[in-house]
Chain A
């Protein structure tokens, strides 16, 4: 167990809907990362937060947004869902984005199925 938790574990929803994925980082970790894993695209970085502020953006669609709250948990919001958004969404956390111990530890993921 890496200490990173994600809810829900599975999510099945219809096209056009909106969902929220939640992540709690390891105790003491300030940085949270979101990744998408799909069969055709592999593991893709979406977005990173550090201590409540957005730090880096990757291949994240405009329909997707995220935030990190004062208690350091993070939420990834996916709206106007399309069939192609079906994927595993992972959250990872690390102590700091650069320097020192920066290994990223992953949560169990949320499996999103859009029908």
Chain B
């Protein structure tokens, strides 16, 4: 079964500290993975896609097929990073997104 797991419901760090938001997946074949960010229950914004390997707002994510993980990292958290973060993969049959339960990141001053 295709599944995305985000084990942490809430992650609280201080400003300037490193951040790692965990994401594990279950998928047969080569997954296509994304990170979305949602500020104050507004629209979901695409943050990263694994195929592009780009860095957005200082965040990076590396696909580790051996560990079936796609963790989101940032070396120095900022207060404006506080938001809900969702890891998602594309369903291999229809194209729908399968989301994890989300991790709320809280960056304290």
List A residues at the B interface (Cβ < 8 Å). Answer: 2, 4, 31, 33, 35, 37, 42-43, 45, 48, 55-56, 58, 88, 90, 92, 94, 96-98, 102-109
B95 touches A102 (CB 8 A): yes
Expressed in whole angstroms, the Cα–Cα distance for A97 and B42 within the complex equals 24
* A-B interface pairs (CB < 8 A), number: 62
Assuming A103-B34, A103-B49, A105-B46, is B96 touching A88 (CB within 8 A)? no
From 77 to 100 in chain B, residues with beta carbon under 8 angstroms from any chain A beta carbon are 86, 90-91, 93-100
Assuming A42-B101, A42-B102, A43-B86, is B95 touching A106 (CB within 8 A)? no
Q: B102 contacts which chain A residues (CB < 8 A)?
A: 42-43
Query: B63-75 vs A: 1/0 string, CB under 8 Å?
Result: 0000000000000
Q: How would you classify the secondary structure of chain A's contact residues: helix, strand, loop or mixed?
A: strand
From 28 to 56 in chain B, residues with beta carbon under 8 angstroms from any chain A beta carbon are 32, 34, 36, 41-46, 49
Among B32, B42, B86, B91, which residue has its beta carbon within 8 angstroms of that of A108? B42
